[in-house]
Structures are given as structure tokens and as C-alpha cells.
Amino acid sequence: MDSLVLENICDRVKPLIFTKKETITREGDPVQRMLFIVRGHLQSNQILRDGVKSCCMLGPGNFIGDELLSWCLKRPFVERLPPSSSTLVTVEATEAFGLDAEDVKYVTQHFRYTFVNEKVKMSARYYSPGWRTWAAVAIQLAWRRCKRRLTLTSLSFIRPRRPLSRCSSLGEDRLRLYTALLTSPKPNQDDFDF
């Protein structure tokens, strides 16, 4: 970003101090401001599919509230503030600079040429904890599917080689599979760490 954009941002930020274990925002609540963490740590919790909970720590140099950038650059513009993608709780006393939603809107409207640049968008996504969490979860789910598929193909010798007859049921085949799993040697624990 050029110095003019940075000066406009710096003119509008406000110093904020949060106490230990203070909830800054809850998942689903409207994002009121972007926060740039100067000192201290925050814990970001996000509920994913099937009740799985994602958790990450944010420290000095991290920022939150990147949903506001997408909100400001969306056309046609929607007045309603975007929902927060995670719950943020301070781990210790935390100092941050806050840029209110209206100030983010002002800066992105007056310097739109800077924020529509693909490099700026990709940088914001790369450093965004929300995008990082999404990427990590996608990679973990793909890895689990791959491991499950490899495990099932390695157990293919257990499955009956003959076609299912009328008297054979899926329950019997499952029972054979479970029996083979229980009687087989114990696998190496490192192979199943997710």
C-alpha cells in the first residue's frame, strides 16, 4: 500500500485495551471493527461442521475483522454488517488498534484502486486467521478421507470375494470386517494420528 492509504488508516485507528478473558466478539455477531493486535494474545474459536471446534491463537502482528474488507468491496453494497466467523476471547491483557467499520468503509471507498488489487486481496487472505483455519480444516479433512480410503483398501482381503447371495446380509459382512479388525495385529499408533 502506498503511504497516503496508510496515513489515512493511521489517522482513524483507535488504541484499545482488553482485560484477561474478555470476550471481544461472538461467532455470528456483526463485526464492528478490525483489530490489529499490538501486545497480548487472543484465542479464536470457530464451530465447524458436525460440532467440530477449531481453535487458534492470535498474537502481536495478527489482525481480525477481515470480513469488513470483503463487505466494503462487495458490489452492490449491503448496509448490514457482516457476521463474525469466530468467537474471540483474550488470553491475557491485550492492546490493539481498532478501525471501526465506518472507517474501513471510508478508506476502501476513497482508495478503492488499492483494495481491488489482487495482491492486496491475496495478502489479506493469507494473513487472515479465518482463511487459515478454513484451509487447515480442508487439508485435515482431505487427509482423513485419504487415510480412511487407504485403510479400507488395505482391508480388502477381508471382504468376501463372492457376490452377495440372498442368504448373506450386509450385517454378516460387517461382522466379518469387525472380527478381522479385532483379531488383526495392533496397528502403529502414528499411522492414525489426525
- Residue-level pLDDT at 131: 66
CA distance 92 to 144: 34
Higher pLDDT, 185 or 145: 145
Grid cell of 17 as nine digits: 485495551
Sign for the pseudo-dihedral over CA of 123, 24, 47, 192: positive
Average pLDDT over residues 152-157: 65
Question: Comparing C-alpha atoms, which of 158, 147, 131 is closest to residue 188?
Answer: 147
**CA distance readout (Å), 57 to 64, 87, 123, 181:** 12, 12, 19, 39
Phi, psi of 14 (to 5 degrees): -125, 135
CB 22 within 8 Å of CB 107: no
- Residue-level pLDDT at 164: 47
CATH of domain 3-138: 2.60.120.10
User: pTM higher than 0.75 for the full model?
Assistant: no
pLDDT in tens, 121-143: 666 666 666 666 666 666 777 77
CATH 2.60.120.10 domain locations along the chain: 3-138
CB 45 within 8 Å of CB 89: yes
